[in-house]
Structure 1
Amino acid sequence: MGAAAGKAAPAKDRLAIAENTVLQWNRCPDADTGIWDAAAACTNERLLDAVDEILDLAEAQPFPAASAAAARLDSALRVAMLRMMDEFLRLRVWNASSQDLRLAVDRLSVGVSANAQWLAVHGTGDRSSSASTVGRASGGSPSSAPGDLVGFLNVEFLDDLQLLCPASLPVLHEIARRVIRAGYTKELVQKFTNSPCDVLDRFLSIFQGECSRRTTEAVIKLWSLATKLIGKALVVMQRQLYAQNSPGAFDALKDEYFLAITKNRILNLLKFADDFTSITSHEKLIYILGMYEALSEATPGLLLMFTGPHKELVTERSEEILTKLARSIRSMVTSLIAKVGDDVSNTKNIVGVGVHPLTQYSVLCIERLAPHRDTLDLILASGGDVTSLSDLSSRVVGCLDRVLLLDEKPVPPRDAAAAAAAGSRHHLFLANNANFVLQRCKPMLGDEWAAARESVVERHVAGYAEACWAPVVACLEPAGRKPEKVVAKFSAAFDKAYESQVSCEVPDPALRDALRRAVSEKVVTAYGVYLETHPKLEKSDRYTAGELGQWLSELFEGDAAEHNK
């Protein structure tokens, strides 16, 4: 034995040599790599021999119980075991250094953060900025976010990664065998609490690192990702740890070890979530809802990792935070309805005929909640004034109806031309907004509601055709005039109406076609009948009925309808 004087040497000499080796090691713990390096390679057999010599002497008890040599042996044994525990803490049991793991986690982190940042800019914020921004973003479609958020949350890649360092397990058996042999098992178990786990810590770093530089939305989304990753990683880690076919002393401590590395990190996750339970702003609703889902989905699997008092503690803490998050979500839903109501009440002097930014913003808020419908319905059904996503959607739409959708305010009395122009803009605006809500909210509000809303859209389509184009058709009434003058007056009125309407935009193709049909049925049909009753005009009239239909087919394209007429 390199560090000992040999079994035949006196016990006092053997102790002196082993004690000196261990004490020198204890005085300068960083002077060498210890017994094993982080990769589980034995780099100092002399130190290991000294530990074994002290263990052999402790079991043989060669010194009188109250002697100074026995006290020295006990002290040397204590130092040796403490250093063995330090060896355990410096050993890399879990491998977070693989390139596949680093790239996957980095990609997930960047992707989720980018989505949260995009949604924060395009889907939330104060009314002055968010609503107008949503209006520019493809009609407020949630699918226009960069990348697939569901794809970013795919954690199945962990199934194919080797998270356990296989070479470390024999070393764990070696350390455990000596510690158990010396009677220091309790002390080693206490050390498990501080055991490093690079895999879990890498996932925790996703949301812990530089939180102050990220938006709240990004931090919450990254927390949800880290929770999913840790939940999945723990399953894989436990499977790999218990699948090792190298039985040894550490097997008796695996449960305590795995519980220790899991417990503190889970409590860390829960503490972080608890810090967000006081948020009540509706702008954070989608993120708090995601946090609730991530925690509720992960909790059953996480609890499988615990037993006894530890399981009770984590269960109680998880349920407490889920309850607080649910309370916060209900408060946010109430805040969202109140916000839309206030914005509607403050909406004055509506300009334009397109989908109003407030309509886009409100509907987008509802749409973003749709993928979380089951969770939200469960939370809302457990208390509060709003009972479901459908109820929330109905209330938001009800707020919009008061001003933007079903507003039947009479056109202010002015001259006939001004009244016609105002009336046409009024009906076109209402048709656009009612149809937008119809198409986007039907999944939440059902077929019966959709049927009633379709009749609203049809009424405003007919109202638009009547307000804008009935005065044009009225020019065809003979009233004793010569047919040539009637057609000339009609053509002038048609030109004026066309020029005022051609740049109006109707984004929805189906509504655009319905409006064109309504106008064509009113204008082209009447014009065609007039020409039939005055066949001599066919060679002298400015337009044929077919040409009118062609011009009308170009309405409602917005700026794309430019042409040389």
Structure 2
Amino acid sequence: MGQRLAVESTSDDQLVQRPATADVDSPWSSYGSTIRSISFPQGVGWSTWLHRSGGTTPGSSLPSSCTDGSRPSSFASSWGSGAAAFNAIKANELRSIARRMVHDRHLQALTRAFLGGGNGVLQRWFTELDVDWVLTMTEDMPWRAERTVVHDRARRWIRAFTTMAHAFLAMRSHLRHAVEWVDEQELQLAGFTSASISKMMLFVDAVIANVDWRPENLPAALDVYACISDATTSSRDQASSTAQQIVLSMYGGAAHHAGLVTSGRRRLAAAIHRAMRSLSVDYYGDGGSCGAPRGSEVHAATLYTMDFVRLLWRNAGLASSVLVDDGGGSVVSLASDVMRRWEFSLASASMLLPDAALRCVFLLNNYDAMAEAFPESGLQDEIGRCEERYLDATWEPPLSCLHGATAWHSPPSAKLADFTARFWRTYDAQKLWRVPSPALRGRLRRAVAGLVVSAYAMYLKEHPLRDKDRVSIMAPEEMEEILNELFEG
């Protein structure tokens, strides 16, 4: 993948405080500080993926907390928000800054200076936009960094590219109303625009390299894709139009830099599609390497997997645009494929547990988490069958003391004693098994009570006990109350 650059992550607060490299008394400083003060909204869009604890191992796309090193677990992330959540309010703010640059004749001064200043002018322009680091990139030196750095740089790049596109559009609109030097200024602007966009598109190549290197860079890649595609364009709000559309509307699809944007978008779409397939097949495709379960708990990798499914499902429009850009495919079929493969992996992993009842509760917890994330999964029937297997494996043995063939000739008091002993052994073994979902926990408790308490109450009704024997046994109501303490963990 080429050289790996060591770069440092920068938070939004740091971006606001970071001084521009230009003279603090110049307009450059004013524009730059205003641009850097515009932060992305948090906790929406692709940002919701993987807000959990853990970490990744160096040089690997897999988290270090994975049980067997073969598959991802939940891990920490502060994805923040990207273009998928870069709403019209923020776009309006950037457009206002861009128009002010033209109104103040700042962009005109840049375009004129570019003819004589070249790279020096680009350095000042990119510093102002908070993306001066883009100028250190070259086509033959892919830039790679940790996930948080990629995400931070992607947000800054999106902000800069959007401002740049609106500034160029405002400048072109201004030139349409000019009465002199129009042709000369058009040529100046075309040259400056081409140089700027050519440099900016180097970061798209870097994002492609990073999402290929680590599929967990998928959110940042999608955010950049949204910026240079029409996937999120609102026809009712010109301010939220994508930067690519602005560039293409200025110069047409045949222009060199417009072609760069289109080519970059398509290559990025292909890389994102590869990352989606990698996450859905490579990580979840072999049922034997899920990693040993830890009791009845929801598997850590299930949380990761379902976050990925939610990522696809809640952003289906943007994901669908990527798939169409890269030759087709369906978000529904991709998500369904992930669910099917992970269901198989969990079934295989459950066999590592020593107890049939524990295997059932483990699967119930995981299947329930999957169904909650993707209701169209079709798992409800399997959840129902798993509940039946759990009841058979767990509670039929104690109940056989009351009506089983081996207990046929035993007196009622002996049957009840055997039943009570098995009941308590089963209860003590399972009361600390954890079922985190309140709905599933309540459903299991009702199912257990419906089977065990009803059978127990019927037996007592059909086999009346003497008063002295009745004192030593539980009332059905007491048994139901006890069973309501199951699965608290």
- TM normalised by structure 2 equals 0.71
TM-aligned CA deviation for residue 536 of structure 1: 3.7
Are the structure 2 counterparts of residues 162 and 435 from structure 1 closer, same or farther at C-alpha, using a change threshold of 3 Å? Answer: closer
* Residue matched to 2:383: 457
Which runs of 5 or more residues in structure 1 are unaligned?
1-88, 177-185, 413-420, 559-565
Q: Give the conservation status (yes or no) of the 8 Å contact 2:298–2:365.
A: yes
- Name the amino acid aligned to 1:469: W
- Name the amino acid aligned to 1:339: D
Q: Give the conservation status (yes or no) of the 8 Å contact 1:94–1:164.
A: no
* Residue matched to 2:312: 369
Are the structure 2 counterparts of residues 226 and 277 from structure 1 closer, same or farther at C-alpha, using a change threshold of 3 Å? Answer: closer
Q: Give the conservation status (yes or no) of the 8 Å contact 1:352–1:429.
A: yes
With 487-496 and 270-279 compared, the bigger mean Cα shift is at 270-279
Match of 2:478 among 520, 530, 547: 547
Are the structure 2 counterparts of residues 383 and 268 from structure 1 closer, same or farther at C-alpha, using a change threshold of 3 Å? Answer: closer
TM-aligned CA deviation for residue 535 of structure 1: 4.1
Match of 1:164 among 91, 95, 100: 100
* Residue matched to 2:299: 356
1:412-438: per-residue Cα shift (whole Å, max 9, x none)? Answer: 9xxxxxxxx711112112222222222
Once the two structures are aligned, what percentage of the paired residues are identical? 21
DSSP 3-state at the match of 1:97: helix
Q: Give the conservation status (yes or no) of the 8 Å contact 1:472–1:494.
A: yes
Q: What is the alpha-carbon distance in structure 2 between the residues aligned to residue 495 and residue 91 of structure 1?
A: 77
Q: Give the conservation status (yes or no) of the 8 Å contact 1:524–1:548.
A: yes
Q: What is the alpha-carbon distance in structure 1 between the residues aligned to residue 172 and residue 155 of structure 2?
A: 26
TM-aligned CA deviation for residue 505 of structure 1: 0.9
The equivalences for 1:336-355 within 5 A come to 336-341=279-284, 344-347=287-290, 350-355=293-298
Q: Give the conservation status (yes or no) of the 8 Å contact 1:259–1:305.
A: no
Highest Rg: 1 or 2? 1
1:256-281: per-residue Cα shift (whole Å, max 9, x none)? Answer: 45444433222111122123434534
* Residue matched to 1:57: none
Q: Give the conservation status (yes or no) of the 8 Å contact 2:225–2:265.
A: yes
Q: What is the alpha-carbon distance in structure 2 between the residues aligned to residue 238 and residue 321 of structure 1?
A: 20
Q: Give the conservation status (yes or no) of the 8 Å contact 2:32–2:130.
A: no
- Is residue 275 of structure 1 aligned with residue 206 of structure 2? yes
Match of 2:427 among 477, 498, 509: 498
The equivalences for 1:431-442 within 5 A come to 431-442=364-375
Q: Give the conservation status (yes or no) of the 8 Å contact 2:306–2:373.
A: yes
Are the structure 2 counterparts of residues 557 and 346 from structure 1 closer, same or farther at C-alpha, using a change threshold of 3 Å? Answer: same
DSSP 3-state at the match of 1:268: helix
Are the structure 2 counterparts of residues 543 and 236 from structure 1 closer, same or farther at C-alpha, using a change threshold of 3 Å? Answer: farther
Q: What is the alpha-carbon distance in structure 1 between the residues aligned to residue 444 and residue 159 of structure 2?
A: 49
- TM normalised by structure 1 equals 0.63
* Residue matched to 1:395: 337
Match of 1:264 among 185, 190, 195: 195
Which runs of 5 or more residues in structure 2 are unaligned?
1-21, 138-142, 230-241
Q: Which has the higher helix share?
A: 1
* Residue matched to 1:40: none
- Name the amino acid aligned to 1:404: L
* Residue matched to 2:245: 300
- Name the amino acid aligned to 1:494: F
1:105-143: per-residue Cα shift (whole Å, max 9, x none)? Answer: 4x459999xx7997697587644525469xxx9x9699x
Q: Give the conservation status (yes or no) of the 8 Å contact 1:484–1:537.
A: no
* Residue matched to 1:425: 358
TM-aligned CA deviation for residue 471 of structure 1: 1.1
* Residue matched to 1:556: 487
Q: Give the conservation status (yes or no) of the 8 Å contact 1:131–1:360.
A: no
Are the structure 2 counterparts of residues 252 and 546 from structure 1 closer, same or farther at C-alpha, using a change threshold of 3 Å? Answer: same
TM-aligned CA deviation for residue 198 of structure 1: 5.8
Q: Give the conservation status (yes or no) of the 8 Å contact 1:195–1:261.
A: no
Q: Give the conservation status (yes or no) of the 8 Å contact 1:206–1:222.
A: no
Match of 1:317 among 243, 253, 260: 260
Match of 1:201 among 123, 127, 141: 127
Are the structure 2 counterparts of residues 218 and 120 from structure 1 closer, same or farther at C-alpha, using a change threshold of 3 Å? Answer: farther
Instruction: Provide the aligned length of Structure 1 versus Structure 2.
Output: 431
Q: What is the alpha-carbon distance in structure 2 between the residues aligned to residue 497 and residue 361 of structure 1?
A: 32
The higher-RCO structure (CA 8 Å, 6+ apart) is 2
Q: Give the conservation status (yes or no) of the 8 Å contact 2:123–2:132.
A: no
Q: Give the conservation status (yes or no) of the 8 Å contact 1:227–1:294.
A: yes
DSSP 3-state at the match of 1:322: helix
- Is residue 531 of structure 1 aligned with residue 460 of structure 2? yes
Q: What is the alpha-carbon distance in structure 1 between the residues aligned to residue 112 and residue 291 of structure 2?
A: 72
Instruction: Please tell me the root mean square deviation across aligned C-alpha atoms, in Å.
Output: 4.7
* Residue matched to 1:47: none
The equivalences for 1:46-195 within 5 A come to 95-97=28-30, 101=34, 104-105=37-38, 107-108=39-40, 126-127=61-62, 129=64, 131=66, 154-159=90-95, 161=97, 164=100, 169=105, 190-191=115-116, 195=121
- Name the amino acid aligned to 2:355: A
With 538-547 and 467-476 compared, the bigger mean Cα shift is at 538-547
1:62-85: per-residue Cα shift (whole Å, max 9, x none)? Answer: xxxxxxxxxxxxxxxxxxxxxxxx
Q: What is the alpha-carbon distance in structure 2 between the residues aligned to residue 431 and residue 319 of structure 1?
A: 46
Q: Give the conservation status (yes or no) of the 8 Å contact 1:93–1:165.
A: no
